[in-house]
Structure 1
Amino acid sequence: MSESTLAAVLWDMDGTLVDTEPYWMAAEAVLVERFGGTWSHEQALRLVGLGLEDSARIFQDAGVQMGIHDIVDHLTDDVMVQLATKGVPFRPGAQELLASLRAAGIKTGLVTMSLRRMAQTVVDLMSAHTFDVVVAGDDATRPKPFPDPYLQACAVLGVDSRATVAIEDSPNGLRSAVASGAAVIGVPHMVSITGAGAHAVWPTLAGRTAQDVVRFHSGHVQSVSPHSPGDTR
């Protein structure tokens, strides 16, 4: 495989693959209010893409009198109930792009800060063999924005991170993917990703195919090559 060959596409989950952020925000507000506090939309937005344990510490500071792991489990359970009752809201174009990648023979991975049991719930509601690897929040040696989750996915897949494309919607996720060495596409959703380092920004995944991702990766590799005359993306 040459350096410019795309070996795998790695996906964030919440906000990128599925629009579960409103479910998380609803669960957070109920939890904080249960302990007599208030939780604003602006506060919730600051947690988008943050590791669950880091988020739990913020809830403790907001007055939630529970242990870190108890908070993580409570919020995860709440979101999973919402998934079961309201359904899985996939982001526009996400399932179609995944199908296109699979048809093209390109490996795919899910890299999320949600717990594995929640990630597996989402994966189980999709077509069989959608992802070749799942790295969840309780698998990561360090959470996003550290590069560890993406590097762990690459290690399992047996690929060089430079031969991968990562798709993310949050600043923390983007920083994690960029630090891993992947070529990174930002697909903004609930928060601004300006200045987070995305190598390209796609307003939506709707209408995108494997060919678009391959073309982006090839252009990125050429743009960072010491022999490249410039960015051809």
Structure 2
Amino acid sequence: MRAVLFDMDGTLTDSEKLWSISLDRTAADLGGTLSPQAREAMVGHDMVDSVRMFLADIAPDRTDLDPGAVAQLLTRHTAELFAEAMPWRPGAQALLAAVRASGLRTALVTATHHSLVELALNTLGRNSFDAIVAGDEVTNNKPDPEPYLRAMELLGVSADQAVAVEDSPNGSRSAAAAGVPVLVVPSETQVAPAPGLFFAESLVDVDPGDLRRIHNEHLTAPQS
């Protein structure tokens, strides 16, 4: 194993809760209320899909709302929250530090746009990743494998040399479709078992040795 590919929202940072706040503020600005069901469905989606689901939920009959303008409003509210110190997910900071100290290469692979990732790096550390793939830097976002394929290309590794760490159904499908074994630590939504997915309740006490065991188990598993 040569590399670990980390998702951001809900995996390294507890920022899904911040997204919930910014979505509620955006809905209030537009005179609506976002339902819990729609919010849960949006976890792991990129900005374009999220805004589409958001508008379908809060204002299905309004044709005057421009999705691009709504995305800008949502981004502004989110940036205000991301500019503050972002909370880490339990165990995430220690795992990232241990992976870096072990000499493994790292990538941040997120559906969040680059402008917001730049703010998150104030918490995550600007030297914590050898490569970053943001949601607006790919043609096809998660659950398509393109973000993870791009990250591996930037790192110069292949799928059999990497492990991904994810929290959402879309992110897990993206990494698995790229051929990468995935440690799944669900946060806001549950992830169904599937080939190539390995589960933990949290990242507390997870270390590079655990990731290597997942990597080796995946490599030696019978291929269907």
TM-score higher than 0.5:
yes
2:8 alignment partner AA: M
Q: SS of the counterpart of 1:153?
A: helix
Decide which moves more: 200-209 or 30-39. 30-39
Structure 1 regions of 5+ residues with no counterpart? 1-5, 227-233
Q: Where do 1:20-99 residues align within 5 Å?
A: 20-61=15-56, 62-63=58-59, 65-85=64-84, 87-99=85-97
Aligned partner of residue 113 in structure 1, secondary structure: coil
Alpha-carbon distance in structure 1 between the residues aligned to 2:204 and 2:190: 19
Structure 2 equivalent of residue 142 of structure 1: 140
Residues 140-167 of structure 1, C-alpha deviation per residue, up to 9 Å, x if partnerless? 1201110010001111111112211111
Q: Which residue of 2 aligns with 1:129?
A: 127
Matches within 5 A, 1:158-197: 158-195=156-193
Which amino acid in structure 1 is aligned with residue 37 of structure 2?
A: E
Specify the code of the residue in structure 1 equivalent to 2:177: A
Deviates more, 1:202-211 or 1:76-85: 76-85
CA RMSD of aligned residues (A): 1.8
Task: Out of 8-17 and 117-126, give the one that drifted further.
Answer: 117-126
Contact 1:113–1:138 under 8 Å retained in 2: yes
Q: TM-score, normalised by structure 2?
A: 0.91
Please state how far the C-alpha of 1:195 moved relative to its aligned partner.
Answer: 3.8
Q: Structure 1 CA distance, aligned partners of 2:124 and 2:32?
A: 37
Deviation at 1:128, TM superposition (A): 4.4
TM (normalized to structure 1)?
Answer: 0.88
Note the C-alpha offset of 1:209.
Answer: 1.0
> Which structure 2 segments of 5+ residues have no match?
none
Aligned residue identity for 1:45: E
Displacement of 1:203 in angstroms is: 0.6
Shift of 1:196: 5.5
- Could you tell me which residue of structure 1 aligns to residue 211 of structure 2? 213
1:50/1:144 contact within 8 Å kept: yes
Residue 172 of structure 1 and its aligned partner are, at CA, apart by 0.6
Letter in 1 for 2:155: L
In the alignment, which of 185, 199, 202 is matched to residue 201 of structure 1? 199
Whether the aligned pair in 2 keeps the contact of 1:9 and 1:109 (CA below 8 Å) is yes
1:6-25 aligned at under 5 Å gives the runs 6-25=1-20
Query: Letter of the aligned partner of 1:167 in structure 2?
Result: V
What count of residue pairs does the alignment treat as equivalent?
Answer: 220
- CA distance in structure 1 between the aligned counterparts of 2:116 and 2:131, rounded to whole angstroms: 15
Q: Distance in 1 between matches of 2:72 and 2:156?
A: 31
1:40 deviation in Å?
1.9
Q: Shift in Å at residue 225 of structure 1?
A: 5.8
1:74 partner amino acid: L
Contact 1:27 1:78 in 2 (8 A): yes
Alignment partners' CA distance in 2, 1:93 and 1:178: 23
Alignment partner of 2:42: what SS? coil
The answer to whether the aligner puts 1:114 opposite 2:77 as a matched pair is no
